[in-house]
Amino acid sequence: MWSFSEIANSMHEWLSKTFNPTWTLIIEMVIAGVAVIGLFAVLGLVLVIMERKVSAWMQIRLGPNRVGPKGMLQSLADTIKLIVKEGMTPAGADKILFNLAPFIAMIVAMLLLAPIAFAKDFQLWDLNIGVLYVAAVSSIMVISILMAGWASNNKYSLLGAMRSGAQIVSYELSAGLSILAIVVLTGSLQVSDIVHSQADGWWIFKGHIPAIIAFITFIIAVTAETNRAPFDLAEAESELTAGFHTEYSGMKFALFFLAEYVNVFIVCAIGATLFLGGWMPLHIGNWTGFNHAMDWIPSSIWFFGKTFFLIFVIMWFRWTFPRLRIDQLLNLEWKYLLPISMINLLIVTAIAILKWHF
């Protein structure tokens, strides 16, 4: 049976036989870069049409149904439209920052992809502080939003950017604390270690109720961190037209749009890795027969299945809940999520020390 890791290994062997080590490394980096860009393009197309269909069905509408079979080529048509459009820079804008901001958003999304394990033994960079790296790099995202808001020279953009700053800085705390809960249980920051520690059951099942609470706080916090409804105060189309990307058009707008969806994918992939076992199939303790049956499903399908399930949950939130006010948003974080996740972390630590988890 073929798998991503076998393809990668055979490619590496062929390249090492044909070229010297330096060229092998360079060619592999180029291939990885092209693969990441390709994944981004596919994710953008798939997630946009998925969001539009999910939103339509949840609001008793039909959704896009004209372009292609059942409207499935709608996002492709939209992309072509955005490529053709003119990318304007407003006269009063800070030109360098304005044009740099969308690329920073994309670069952050690309950097975040490095430690994610897509399938068994298939990972760009299995560094020993993987989870810390993700938590650290994802905070650079706010820089691009602040940059876009400030450089646009527009009151809506600036307000959106300021709200986004307040929001991301506060929600990073509870996202970090809920990630810490799993790190405490695993005892490692390395992504591959975390996945392997779930070989006999996912942490959401093994960690009792504290793991479930950590999972819920994680989902709420990352919804806020990716600026999606009900926490989309940075865009808030009914109050701030489009928030930080009001002045953007054409491909520069498309990059922000793509970065939002890629970020949703990444946070869901991290959630799936930490709580739902990443590429690890559903294993229950010592049921060898059941575990073997589950191993037949390829690991990449497990990973993408879990990730898309979480993406669906986040879309479900978006099309059900109304937007919060800025004071409600900060109340939720500082008065509810943060104390709860701190106490939760304490309980998880006790469970880990006393070895109460399965």
Partner 1 sequence: MGARKYIKDIWGAVKSLATGMKRTMYYFFHHKEIITQEYPDNRDTLILPERFKGEVVMPHDEKNEHRCTGCQACELACPNGTIKVITKFDMIDGKKKKAIDKLVYHLELCTMCNLCIEACPSDAIKMAQTFEHSVFDRNKLIKVLNNPGSKIMEGVE
- Smallest separation, CB 319 to partner 1 (Å): 6
Closer of 73 and 340 to partner 1 (Cβ): 340
Helix (H) or strand (E) holding 117: strand 117-119
Q: In this complex, which beta carbon is closest to partner 1, that of residue 60 or of residue 354? A: 60
Say if CB 183 and CB 135 are below 8 A apart. Answer: no
Residue window 267-306: x/- pattern of binding to partner 1, with contact defined by CB under 8 A: ----------------------------------------
CA nearest 255: which of 83, 77, 96, 139? 83
The footprint of partner 1 on this chain (CB under 8 A) covers a number of residues equal to 14
Can residue 320 be called a binding residue for partner 1 (CB under 8 A)? yes
Tokens of 332: 């939720």
Is the Cβ of residue 283 or residue 318 nearer to partner 1 in the bound state?
318
Which of 316, 323, 317, 308 has its CA nearest to residue 57? 316
Q: Verify binding: residue 58, partner 1, rule CB under 8 A.
A: yes
Task: Quote the Cα angle for 90-95-101, to 5°.
Answer: 100
336 contacts partner 1 (rule: CB under 8 A): yes
Give the residue carrying structure tokens 């994680």: 218
- Give the residue with the Cβ less far from partner 1, 58 or 124: 58
Q: Is 316 in the site for partner 1 (CB under 8 A)?
A: yes
- Among positions 59, 70, 284, 292, the unique one binding partner 1 when judged by CB under 8 A: 59
Q: Which of 19, 290, 308, 319 binds partner 1 (CB under 8 A)?
A: 319
In this structure, which long-range contacts are made by residues 295-304, counting pairs with CB atoms below 8 Å and at least 24 apart in sequence? 298/1, 298/3, 298/119, 299/3, 299/119, 299/120, 300/3, 300/4, 300/118, 300/119, 300/122, 302/277, 302/278, 303/117, 303/118, 303/119, 303/269, 303/272, 303/278, 303/279, 304/118
Q: Which DSSP string do the residues of 58-98 spell out, in sequence order? A: HTT-----SSSGGGTTHHHHHHHHHHHS-----TTS-HHHH
Nearest distance, CB of residue 58 and partner 1, angstroms: 4
Residue 24 CA neighbour count, 13 Å, CB half: 14
Would you say 1 or 62 has its CB closer to partner 1?
Answer: 62
CB of 339 to partner 1, least distance (A): 9
Kindly state whether residue 54 participates in binding partner 1, applying the rule CB under 8 A.
Answer: yes
The CB-of-312 to partner 1 minimum distance in angstroms stands at: 9
| Only segment of 16-24, 51-59, 150-158, 262-270 that touches partner 1 (CB under 8 A) | 51-59
**Residues 60-99, interacting with partner 1 (CB under 8 A):** 60-62
> Closest Cα partner for 50 from 315, 229, 322, 323?
315
Shortest Å, Cβ 332 to partner 1 = 9
Rounded-to-integer distance, Cα 338 and Cα 37, Å: 36
Select from 98-106, 116-124, 150-158, 319-327 the region that touches partner 1 (CB under 8 A).
Answer: 319-327
Using the rule CB under 8 A, is 325 a contact of partner 1? Answer: no
Site for partner 1 in 185-214 (CB under 8 A): none
Report phi then psi at 118, rounded to 5: -85, -30
Residues engaged in binding partner 1 (CB under 8 A) = 54, 57-62, 316-317, 319-321, 336, 340
